[in-house]
Structure formats: C-alpha cells, structure tokens
Amino acid sequence: MKQKIRLKKKILITAGPTYEAIDPVRFIGNHSTGKMGFAIAEELAQRGAQVTLVAGPVQLTTSHPNITRIDVTSAQEMCDVCLKQFPKMDGAILSAAVADFTPVTKYDKKIKEKQSLTIELKPNPDIAQELGKRKKTKQFLVGFALETNNEFTNAQGKLEKKNFDFIVLNSLADKGAGFGYDTNKVSIIERNGTVTNYELKSKQDVAKDIADQIEKLN
Ligand code: C5P
C-alpha cells in the first residue's frame, strides 16, 4: 500500500535505556529495549517526517532513509544531543527510559571484590523538563509514563511539570504491556484532560495511534 506523505515535520525521538558507568565493566541500566520509540520513528518517517532518533544502547536497527540515528550511552550524552537538536525541530517525543541517577564517581579501573561497596549517586538531568522549559509555541512535546500505582494522577502531574502536549501512559500492571513485549496497552492523556484508552495492540499499531494524535496537534 502506498503511504501518504503528509507529515512535513522534523521530529526528535529519544528511545531505549541509558547506561550509567560505575567502572569500565559495570553500569546502572534498565530493561528498556527501545522497541516503542523505534516503532514511532519508523511510523513517522513513513508518513514523511524527518526523524532524528537519539538511541541509548539497544539491539535494534533502523532502515528508513528519513531516520537519522544518533547513538548515545549515558543520560548526560542523551541530554547534550537533545538540547543541541531541539531548536531545529518541530517537536519531540521522549520515549527513552532515562536513568534517574548516575554514580558520583566513575572509577577508571575495575572495582576489586570486597565485603561491601557503597556507590553514591547524583540525579541526572531531566531531559523532558529541560526541553519543556525551552519549548516554543509552535513546537510540540510528547512524553511517556510507566506507572505502577496512581497512574493517571502521576501521569497528569508529569504532563504539567514537563510541559507535554500529551502523555502516553502505559501501566506495568497490564499483561503484555511495557518492557520487552512486542505489544503495548496505552492511554493518551491530553492537556485539556481528555483521556483515550486503547486496546492491547502491537507496538507498530500503538505507534500509528500516537502518530495520528501528533497529526491532530496544531
Ligand atoms: O521517568 P519519568 O516517569 O519521569 O519519565 C517521564 C517522561 O520523561 C518520559 O517521557 C521520559 O522519556 C522523560 N524523561 C527524560 N529524562 C529523564 C527522565 C525522564 O526525558 N531524566
């Protein structure tokens, strides 16, 4: 089927986890596979958008010529790339599972075995909030929330705090949704409080729902 070229926008997407180095062999990470962000990148590229995909360490490949991929490892690296790219963009979709904390000390040599080890952590930059502060009227910002409790209240709080136009909520409580699965079950919460609940579907089909919602913005 021939795709309609209708989304003439430059869109930044973050995807995957970040790895925060402890020493040359160890890191703090998380279970994100990047599948949701990569599916969104592919869908938007097929609709004609020029996508800049900032990817943490993932096992995924991209093939669409409209996707420019920038690989990063840590949250700070992801943040630096996003701050540089965002002013050139019409909007951003932040699907990365960014590590909230990073070790204060990154050892140059592998830490030796010992009885106990204390690792002091400091907070990472909140990329979404930084972009939210810089967002111009014509730009859009979309975020994700993965919640285990008080999901709607927490997601709505994040929508406002980070200045998102809408937030995609997925609950870890839903079977087949979240890390590693090829399916996802989401709700989209808009700024005006409208909530749309979607069925469990493939991440490719969830990406279509998110792309439809982006096309409705401005
Ligand atoms: O981690 P949290 O639930 O607050 O994440 C909500 C949204 O903020 C997600 O879209 C995530 O990609 C983004 N985020 C970010 N930088 C962080 C933490 C979260 O961009 N340091």
Residue pLDDT, tens place only, 184-215 = 899 999 999 999 999 999 999 999 999 999 99
State which ligand 1 atom lies nearest to the alpha carbon of 124. 21
Distance from Cα 100 to the centre of ligand 1, integer Å? 8
Full-model pTM? 0.95
Annotation says 30 is catalytic: yes
43 token code pair: 């869908």
* Residue of 100, 156, 162 best suited for mutating to test ligand 1, as the one with most atoms within 8 Å of CB: 162
Q: At 130, is the secondary structure helix, strand, or coil?
A: helix
- Which helix (H) or strand (E) covers residue 167, if one does? strand 166-171
| Whether pLDDT at 1 is above 70 | no
Helix (H) or strand (E) holding 5: none
> What is the maximal distance between C-alpha atoms in the chain?
62
* Ligand 1 atom having least distance to the Cα of 95: 12
Q: How far apart are CA 80 and CA 102, in angstroms?
A: 15
Ligand 1 center–CA 16 separation, angstroms: 11
Substitution site in 98, 131, 146 for ligand 1 pocket (most atoms within 8 Å of beta carbon): 98
Closest atom of ligand 1 to 97 CA is: 12
In 3-state terms, what secondary structure has residue 123? strand
Compute the distance between CA of residue 49 and CA of residue 99 in angstroms, rounded to an integer. Answer: 28
pLDDT tens for each residue of 119-159: 999 999 999 999 999 999 999 999 999 888 889 999 999 99
Q: Point out which residues pair with 186 in neighbouring strands.
A: 170
Tokens 């669409």, residue located: 64
- Domains of the chain, with CATH numbers? 10-106+118-216 (3.40.50.10300)
Q: What is the rounded end-to-end Cα distance, in angstroms, of the chain?
A: 27
Q: From ligand 1's centre to the CA of 154, what distance in Å?
A: 12
**Secondary structure element (H or E) that encloses residue 186, with its range:** strand 186-190
Q: Are 67 and 39 in contact (CB under 8 A)?
A: no
pLDDT over 70 for what percent of the chain?
Answer: 97
pLDDT at 103: 98
The stretches of the chain forming alpha helices (DSSP H) are: 35-46, 75-85, 127-134, 151-161, 203-216
How many A from CA of 127 to the centre of ligand 1?
7
Would you say the CB of residue 94 lies under 6 angstroms from ligand 1? yes
To the nearest 10°, the Cα dihedral for 62, 68, 69, 75? Answer: -140
3-state secondary structure of 191: coil
Q: How is residue 32 written in tokens?
A: 């994100």
Quote the CA–CA distance of 90 and 100 in Å, as a whole number: 26
